[in-house]
Structure formats: structure tokens, C-alpha cells
Structure 1
Amino acid sequence: MLKIKRFLKPVGMILGIMAIVVALGFVERSSERRPVTALDVEVDQPADVQFIDADAVRALVLENGEGLIGSAMGEVEMTAIEERLRSLACVSDADVYHTLDGTMHVRVKQRLPIVRVFNADGSNFYIDRDGWSMPPTDTYTPRVLVVTGQLYEPYREGEHLVTATDTLTAHTRSDEILALAQIIIADPFWNAMIDQVVVDLNGEFELIPRIGGQLIAVGNGTDLQARLEKLRLFYAKGIPQVDWRRYGRIDVRFADQIVCTKRMTP
């Protein structure tokens, strides 16, 4: 009798598991036949970024597919919808799924631009925090760091600029611009202080602060973190000792020194 009980126990467990699998399969097949009764769209908007909204996403999902509502869940190509949304330059990720109540859910995550690049020819684009390029839009202008001057950066929509730069024979500045922007926005002091970056005729960066009116020369993109730390110390200890309004340029490119140039007076 004991042997029979020992035999029946694992058999019962196996039959229970099989029953669960069969039930799940039935539920899945049933849900695939269930019609789409509603479309729920949610757009993640970090820092109030508004390159795309729920209405625009809804329009894209329903474009050439007015019959979506009422279609069987299993007939909806959710993977294709995800790929289409992810192909948008302003979208970093998209997730489409349905629930048993007949609702199809669309979740979109926007890219977060941190810098806007203005080329010498007037063309411009954004770079997001992960290094992806984004086109400008007429409907929304985020407040981000601006880089201008002697720039000739190619815009490649939907490409990772740093990766693309590594494959080019021509020298571009996208990686250095991204590195500088990441340093600035990561530090509350610099994020509040620096308003614009200018690339001079030698291809070196000059920072324009929101107050003071000086040009701050930080060089060609190397040792940026160390140079900004040196500048921070100068702001904290050096500037209080002098009338900083007398100076039009602060140069932190050189080791162990800061060179200040007085403003030109008429």
C-alpha cells in the first residue's frame, strides 16, 4: 500500500502540471480569439519631453489599420507595431501587449535630448543622453545645452553617433560633444552655470556661462572633467579675490594654472 501511495504522489503531481498547461493553452487560444475592444496608449515623458504624445502614437498605430478595433487579438501584428514605433528617432523603446479584457496596450519611451548641435551651415540636430541622434521639430523645443561654431557634424537619423563616428574616416566631434554634455548635465553646478558651448577656429571648446559673460577655454575634449574641477576651484577661491568682471576670457587648458585675459576696453 505504501509503495502504491509513493507511486501515485508523483503521478498526481504530473497530472496536475499537465492540467495547468492545458488550461493555460486554452486561455491563450481564447485570448487570441478575443476581439480588440480598446486601445490604451501611454507615453513616458522624462523631464516633460514632448517630441511625441499619446495622440500621435495612437494615429501611427491606427494608420491604415482602422479595423484594429474589433479584430481578433491573434491577428494583430504587435511585433510589427513595436518595430515601427522603435524606428522613430525620438523613441528609445516600445512595448505592445494585450490583456484579457480586450485592451491592447501601447507603451512608448521617449529619448531624452541633452544637447543641440548647430552646424556652421545652419543645419542642426539633437543628441540624446545615450548618444543617439534626433531631428529637430517645429512643435517642440526642449531647453538643452547648445553647441555652435565651427562644426560640420553629419546628421544620421536613427544612428548612434559615437558608434558611427568610429567607422568614419573623417574626424567628427560627436563623441566629444556628448562627453562634455554628459559631464555638464550630471553636475548641478555646471548644469545651472553653462548655457552654451562654442567650437572655435582651432576646433576647441569654449564655454559660455549664464552669468559673467566670459569665454571659458577648456580645450579639445581631453581631460574635461579635470579642467572643470580646476575651474570650480577658481570660482570658489580665486574669483572672490578679484573683480571677475574685468576678465573676458578664462583659460583652463594648461596644467597647474589658469590664465585670465582682461576685457578689451574701447
Structure 2
Amino acid sequence: MKNIRWGLVFYTFLGIAALAGLIVLMSLINHKDAAQVCKSLKVNVEGKETFIDQHDISKMINNQFGTITGKELKTIKFEEIEQAIEKLPYVSNAEIHTDMDGTVNVNVRQREVVLRVINQDGREFYVDTKGHKIPVTLKYVPHVLVANGKIRESYTKPLEQVETKMVKDLVHIVDHVKGNDLWENQIVQIYVNEQNDIELIPRVGKEVLVVGSADSLDYKLKRLEMYYKNILPKVGTEAYAKVNVKYGGQIICERREGWYMDSLQMKINMKN
């Protein structure tokens, strides 16, 4: 008896008792969960857009799966509900979990759109941050740039991926100017002309800004900044119909009253 380590025996016994108690507690919880009913449904919609709201999600769940309030939790097909919500074109992710009191929480994250496109056939769609096409709805109009004109990108069904280089260029321009105090405020619309050149429509001034494509966009925008800082103050906003920076090393200004072209050959010093 003297060689028995009573402290070790005590702690071993205590550990076994705690494990047994935990097993009993878990079995009681599982038994309770198996018979527990849904007391309430709470929907939380996240994201900067408001294409859909809590009422839309609750209505969709009740229409497709019946009223879940009052049902036993074990009979509710949570995975199928998540999959059904994620099929909505305005939803990027959905997750469902339950509380101990029987509340079913549905967390929904909306897609974020960056551009509204009106193609050459008059079909409209949004483009989200992942390059998916999102349908237009009258319920909500997000504050994003609109691009129209000779845009060949088609639209047949929601969540298609953008295919053409033109629309990818348009999205690249939007992403590029985002957060830039000058261009985010100055550009109010994007237009694709008959020559397939991208034109930026400014908020201040009547001249159209021609960039051609999204290639070398930094370089083109720097030349447009030079136009605004060094040329516009001297000639005024009525002088030119178009300012073209499509071609490297120059700013081409088309006079409003005719087809006379001012070609300002600029030696761009990148250090400045």
C-alpha cells in the first residue's frame, strides 16, 4: 500500500469520471437536438448591394421548402436550402447554422457589381468582381459606371463569365480608376465607338477622352492629366471635341468646330 501513488490514482479516477460525464452530457444534447424544433428563422444579408433582402430569402425558403418554423430541426434539409440560395444570381455564398434555443440563422452574402453594360443589341447586364454577368433588376440600381456603344458581348443567362476582351478592358478601366480621386469623380460613363475605341465621358468638360483600349492605361491617364493641367486651362472646355491618347507619346486634340487636328507631340518624362 505504501508504494501506491494515490495522487495518480485520484487524478486518473477524476479524468474517467469527467469523460463519462461528458459522454452523458453529449448524449443528452444530441437527444435534445434530435427532438428540437425550429423556434424562429433569422436571415442576415451581407454586402454593399441591396439586390435582395431578408424578406426575399425568407419567402424563397418558405416557397420551396415549406414553412420551417415549428418543424423538427432533424427534418429540415439545411444543405439543400443553402444550395438553393446560392443559385440566386445575386448571391455569392450562403451558410446556415442553428442556435441552442432552436433559432435557424441564415447568413447570405451578395455579389458586388462593378460595371453595368448595355451591349450593341440593347441587352443589359452587370459584371461582378469575379467576372460573372448579373441580371439587371428594377428593384435596385447600384451606383456603378455604365458602358454602352459597340459592345458585342452577348447575354443569355445569369452568371456567365465575361468572354470578350472589350468587356474585360472595360472592367479593367473601372478597377484601375477605383480609389483615384480625380478619375473616380471625373469619369461618368464609358462608350465604345464605331472604331472599337474606348471613350471616357467626363463630368467636367465637353470633350470626349479616347483611350482606345485598356493597354498601357497608366501611361494614357498620365497624358490625360497633362491635358487637364497644362492645356485645358489655356483653351477652355469648349475648344476640343475629342482628346485622344490612344497613341504613345502624343496628345491629339480635335477641334470642335471642324476636323482640324492639333497633334501635340509630347516627350513624356516618366520621372515627372
- What TM-score bracket applies, with the shorter chain setting the length? 0.7 to 0.9
For 1:45-194, list aligned pairs within 5 A: 45-46=47-48, 49-155=49-155, 157-159=157-159, 161-162=161-162, 165=163, 171-194=164-187
With normalisation by structure 2, the TM-score equals 0.84
Map Cα deviations across residues 138-163 of structure 1 (whole Å, 9 max, x no partner). Answer: 2222221011111121225443625x
Report the CA distance between 1:24 and its aligned residue.
3.6
The CA distance in 2 between the partners of 1:11 and 1:152, in whole Å, is: 76
The CA distance in 1 between the partners of 2:69 and 2:129, in whole Å, is: 37
Answer whether contact 2:206 2:237 (CA < 8 A) is retained. Answer: no
Call closer, same or farther: CA 1:265–1:226 in 2, change over 3 Å.
closer
Q: Which has the higher helix share?
A: 1
Aligned counterpart for 1:252 among listed residues 245, 249, 255: 245
Name structure 2 gaps, 5 residues minimum. 260-272
Structure index of larger Rg: 2
Answer whether contact 2:210 2:244 (CA < 8 A) is retained. Answer: yes
Q: What is the identity, as a one-letter code, of the residue corresponding to 2:143?
A: R
Report the CA distance between 1:206 and its aligned residue.
0.7
Report the CA distance between 1:3 and its aligned residue.
3.8
Aligned-partner SS, 2:178 = helix
Call closer, same or farther: CA 1:254–1:30 in 2, change over 3 Å.
same
The CA distance in 2 between the partners of 1:64 and 1:186, in whole Å, is: 42
Report the CA distance between 1:15 and its aligned residue.
5.2
With normalisation by structure 1, the TM-score equals 0.86
Report the CA distance between 1:8 and its aligned residue.
5.0
Aligned-partner SS, 2:210 = strand
Aligned-partner SS, 2:238 = helix
Query: 1:9 aligns to what?
Result: 11
Query: 2:46 aligns to what?
Result: 44
The CA distance in 2 between the partners of 1:51 and 1:7, in whole Å, is: 64
The CA distance in 1 between the partners of 2:233 and 2:20, in whole Å, is: 78
Answer whether contact 1:94 1:107 (CA < 8 A) is retained. Answer: yes
Aligned-partner SS, 1:198 = strand
Map Cα deviations across residues 97-144 of structure 1 (whole Å, 9 max, x no partner). Answer: 111111111121111222111111111100012322100112222221
The CA distance in 1 between the partners of 2:94 and 2:161, in whole Å, is: 21
Alpha-carbon RMSD: 2.4
Name structure 1 gaps, 5 residues minimum. 166-170
Aligned-partner SS, 1:94 = strand
Aligned counterpart for 2:222 among listed residues 225, 229, 240: 229
Answer whether contact 1:194 1:209 (CA < 8 A) is retained. Answer: yes
Aligned-partner SS, 1:261 = strand
Task: Report how many residues are paired.
Answer: 257
Report the CA distance between 1:25 and its aligned residue.
4.8
